[in-house]
């Protein structure tokens, strides 16, 4: 029963996010249900690859480039989300903007070639959309300051004749409107 309630909640969030207005703009109400608890307004700091963040040295070029492309926090008020393409998928680094500390670094489940994700700077919600050639799925994650927690089960979404997700998420992989 608990899984059904979570699935229903996920489906409601999906409906709220994917609902479009008469002007074709995507509703933001799903993201607003998970507001950021604080906001950092300064320039993002770089990780300490010689000290505390040495485990991520292998990815330092992409992390530095990703942070340099982002003049302000772009996720959950005080964090920068940087995507790193690796063989077989996409790794996500979540970096604390004020300190440069890499807080989370992992591959999102379902990081297939047909993968997209959406997030906003003022929300702790992250959506991950992916297809495996047979089905399209959307996963919902909430950031708690140290890790992403999946909210409920994956929700199936429409797939096209080529095996890709029929409808793309409302925001691009960089958290900006399409």
Q: Which pLDDT tens digit goes with each residue over 26-49?
A: 455 589 999 999 999 999 999 999
- Which residue from 76, 79, 75 is spatially nearest to 44, judged by alpha carbons? 79
- Those residues whose C-beta lies under 8 Å from the C-beta of residue 62, and which sit 6 or more positions away, are 82, 84
What is the residue extent of each domain of the chain?
Answer: 2-157
- Tens-place pLDDT, residues 83-124: 887 776 678 899 999 999 999 888 776 556 677 889 999 999
pLDDT for the residue numbered 2: 36
- The pLDDT mean for the chain works out to 80
E strand or H helix at 126, and its extent?
strand 125-131
CA distance 22 to 173: 24
- What is the reported pTM? 0.78
List the 89-96 sheet strands across, edge first: 79-86, 89-96, 102-107
- Which residue from 37, 50, 53, 36 is spatially nearest to 99, judged by alpha carbons? 53
pLDDT for the residue numbered 72: 94
What confidence tier does 19 reach under pLDDT thresholds 50, 70, 90? very low
What confidence tier does 82 reach under pLDDT thresholds 50, 70, 90? very high
CA distance 32 to 36: 9
- Tens-place pLDDT, residues 45-54: 999 999 999 9
Q: Say how many CA atoms lie within 13 Å of 76 toward its Cβ.
A: 21
**Residue 165 phi/psi, 5° resolution?**
-65, 130
2-31 average pLDDT score: 47
pLDDT for the residue numbered 21: 35
- Tens-place pLDDT, residues 125-171: 999 888 888 889 999 999 999 999 999 999 999 999 988 888 888 65
Residue 16 has pLDDT above 90, yes or no: no
DSSP conformational letter for 77: T
């Amino acid at each position: 029963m608990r899984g059904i309630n979570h699935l229903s909640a996920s489906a409601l969030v999906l409906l709220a996010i994917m609902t479009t207005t008469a002007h074709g703009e995507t509703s933001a109400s799903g993201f607003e249900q998970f507001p950021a608890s604080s906001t950092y307004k300064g320039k993002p700091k770089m990780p300490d690859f010689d000290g505390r963040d040495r485990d991520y040295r292998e990815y330092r070029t992409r992390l530095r480039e990703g942070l340099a492309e982002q003049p302000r926090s772009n996720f959950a008020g005080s964090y920068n989300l940087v995507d790193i393409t690796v063989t077989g998928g996409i790794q996500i680094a979540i970096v604390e903007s004020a300190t440069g500390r890499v807080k989370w670094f992992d591959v999102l489940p379902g990081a297939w070639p047909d993968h997209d994700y959406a997030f906003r700077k003022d929300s702790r919600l992250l959506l991950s959309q992916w297809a495996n050639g047979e089905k399209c799925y959307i996963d919902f994650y909430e950031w708690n300051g140290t890790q992403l927690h999946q909210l409920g089960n994956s929700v199936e979404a429409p797939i096209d004749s080529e095996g890709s997700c029929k409808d793309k998420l409302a925001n691009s992989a960089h958290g900006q409107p399409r």
